[in-house]
Amino acid sequence: MRKTVLSLAALVLGLAACSPNATPQPMGSPKPEPPKSDASAPDAGRPAPPAKKEEPPGPRKYPVSMSEEEWKSKLTPEQFAVCREKHTERAFGKGYEETEKQGKGRYACSACGQVLFDSGTKFHSGTGWPSFFSPANEKCVEKIRDLSYGMDRVEVVCSNCGSHLGHVFDDGPRPTGLRYCINAVSLKFDEAKKE
């Protein structure tokens, strides 16, 4: 037992000596006093300023902005759930089937009407959601890191109203190698005029 107590005491003393603030002192010496501050220093005698609290950025302001009640009255219940509450529509649903039949034209945001994708960039991905390899232009969509559901993805939203569109993945075809996997209810098709 005595060996155990002595071993523990040696261990504690050894760890204390390894402390970065440890200063060797002879046994029985008084404790050293903390260093005195320089009275000529510009902040001498003043309390330290409070640390700045980092505030997370607030919700981004979009050009088209409405209250949730206004969005509810403008959109169908399914569009509201997807575009405003970031839900995902069922794969291979009615909206997807309609997009598969559509010809040449442009796809706009179903919430605000901003053009998002062109039919020339649409491809059949087999996922059950409309897929595009690039947006109509780089400014019409915004990409946001999405860590929901334990996954690390990139969410795609309309840059005009902030409506959730879907996600972008790096498993698409050439030339971009990207797959914009978009909820059909977040899109409104505008067919190209026949000449």
Q: Is 181 a catalytic residue?
A: yes
* CA atoms lying within 13 Å on the CB side of residue 110: 23
Q: Does the predicted model carry a pTM greater than 0.95?
A: no
**Which residue is catalytic, options 83, 112, 161, 181?**
181
Q: How far is CA 168 from the centre of its chain?
A: 13
Average pLDDT for 29-52: 50
Query: What percentage of the chain has pLDDT greater than the value 70?
Result: 69
CA distance 107 to 186: 9
- Domains of the chain, by residue range, sit at 68-191
CATH of the domain spanning 68-191: 2.170.150.20
Q: What are the CA-CA distances from residue 63 to residues 66, 74, 183 (Å)?
A: 10, 17, 22
- pLDDT tens for 104-159 read 999 999 999 999 999 999 999 999 999 999 999 999 999 999 999 999 999 999 99
Burial of residue 135, with CB atoms counted within 10 A of its CB: 0-12 exposed, 13-18 middle, 19 or more buried? buried
